[in-house]
């Protein structure tokens, strides 16, 4: 399927969640030690946690645990006691948590000035997240759900993305299928000037950017702000464009059955 059509479907799926996972706080202090999330991209419960990470502008080491995966599922069981996802590990506080509602509540209390989250609306959130996940069905099943044979990278990759980004989703799904660990650098929008296609936005809004940490990093280091942006230190690669990133990931990490 073409990158554009795939993105259009993902854009449509985002409406089921009312674009949650798009906007971010501009003032969250990054924790000293990066959070770890054992995650399945296609899992609707994991999606809710990833939305919160975007909204609180928190980065995380994503450890993909797709069905029949072999790279991080054993580690997840050793850390938490069972293979259930999402599983959050916060080494800053010695916290190991299952259950999306509990994880979301924890993240808000710990990183958003102590505000508690009510669990009352959580079932509704799960339902709409499941509706969004249904739209991830492509020929061959859910994307981002099952492992593919892959080569393990020596060190984690790095991906700039925000949860609702329709072009980032297929990249995260492929990284999950290939069981590639990555530092998720969340790039939620910091305000209304962050909306619109990059070319249009950069022409229209000149001057000081009041934006989020990772968007500023992209602007300062690459001269543009667009997601997804992949950095792979294993091969000295850094690239924009989801279609090119997908081809790169397959070329570098997918093992073909002969
Ligand atoms: N109530 C849990 C439900 C989590 C759940 O059912 N996760 C599924 C994936 S969507 C899972 O862990 N399945 C086991 C597996 O994939 O092995 C939550 O909200 O976190």
- Domain ranges for the chain: 3-253
- The CATH number that domain 3-253 falls under is 3.40.30.10
* pLDDT > 70: percent of the chain: 87
- Residue-level pLDDT at 59: 97
CA 191 – ligand 1 centroid, Å: 33
Residue 5: pLDDT band by 50, 70, 90 thresholds? confident
Q: At what angle do helices 122-134 and 3-16 cross, to 10 degrees?
A: 160
Residues 6+ apart with CB under 8 A from 202: 224, 225
- Residue-level pLDDT at 206: 57
Give the pLDDT mean for 87-92: 98
The residue behind tokens 């502008």 is 57
> Of all helices (H) and strands (E), which one includes residue 240?
strand 237-240
Mean pLDDT across the stretch 4-10?
77
Atom of ligand 1 nearest to the CA of 73: 17
User: What percent of the chain clears pLDDT 90, i.e. is strictly above it?
Assistant: 64
- The residue contributing the CA closest to ligand 1 atom 11 is 84
Residue 96: strand, helix, or coil: strand
For residue 163, how far is its CA from the centre of ligand 1 (angstroms)?
19
| pLDDT at position 155 | 98
| pLDDT of 241 higher than 60 | yes
Distance of CA 175 from the midpoint of ligand 1 (Å):
19
Q: Which of 86, 109, 110 is nearest to 99 (CA)?
A: 86
Q: What is the mean pLDDT of residues 50-77?
A: 96
Which residues sit opposite 238 in a β-bridge?
231
Q: Which residue owns the Cα nearest ligand 1 atom 7?
A: 85
Please state, in angstroms and rounded to a whole number, the distance separating the CA atoms of residues 93 and 90.
6
Ligand 1, atom nearest to 65 Cα = 16
Average pLDDT on 109-134 reads 79
The pLDDT value given to residue 205 = 58
Ligand 1 pocket test, candidate residues 67, 70, 84, 101, most atoms within 8 A of CB: 84
Q: Predicted confidence band at 173 (pLDDT cuts at 50, 70, 90)? A: very high
Q: Ligand 1 pocket, 66 CB below 6 A?
A: no
Model confidence, pTM:
0.89
Q: How far apart are the first and last CA of the chain?
A: 24
User: Does 40 sit in the ligand 1 pocket, CB within 6 Å?
Assistant: yes
pLDDT digits (tens, 9 = 90+) for 178-233: 999 999 999 998 866 666 666 666 665 555 556 889 999 999 999 999 999 999 99
């Amino acid at each position: 399927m073409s990158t554009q059509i795939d993105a259009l479907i993902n854009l449509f799926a985002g409406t089921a969640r009312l674009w949650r996972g798009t906007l971010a706080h501009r003032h969250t202090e990054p924790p000293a030690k990066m959070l770890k999330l054992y995650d399945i991209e296609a899992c609707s419960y994991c999606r809710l946690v990833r939305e919160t990470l975007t909204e609180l502008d928190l980065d995380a080491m994503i450890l993909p645990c797709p069905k029949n995966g072999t790279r991080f599922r054993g580690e997840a069981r050793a850390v938490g006691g069972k293979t259930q996802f999402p599983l959050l590990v916060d080494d800053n506080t010695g916290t190991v948590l299952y259950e999306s509602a509990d994880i979301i509540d924890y993240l808000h209390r710990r990183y958003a000035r102590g505000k508690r989250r009510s669990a009352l609306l959580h079932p509704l959130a799960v339902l709409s997240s499941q509706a969004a996940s249904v739209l991830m069905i492509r020929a061959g099943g859910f994307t981002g759900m099952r492992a593919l044979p892959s080569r393990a990278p020596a060190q984690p990759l790095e991906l700039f993305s925000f949860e609702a980004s329709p072009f980032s989703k297929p990249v995260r799904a492929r990284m999950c299928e290939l069981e590639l660990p990555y530092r998720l650098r969340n790039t939620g929008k910091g305000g209304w000037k962050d909306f619109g296609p990059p070319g249009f936005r950069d022409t229209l809004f000149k001057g000081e950017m009041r934006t989020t940490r990772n968007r500023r990093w992209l602007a300062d280091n690459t001269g543009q702000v667009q997601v997804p942006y992949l950095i792979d230190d294993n091969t000295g690669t850094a690239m924009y464009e989801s279609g090119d990133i997908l081809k790169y990931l397959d070329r570098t990490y997918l093992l073909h059955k002969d």
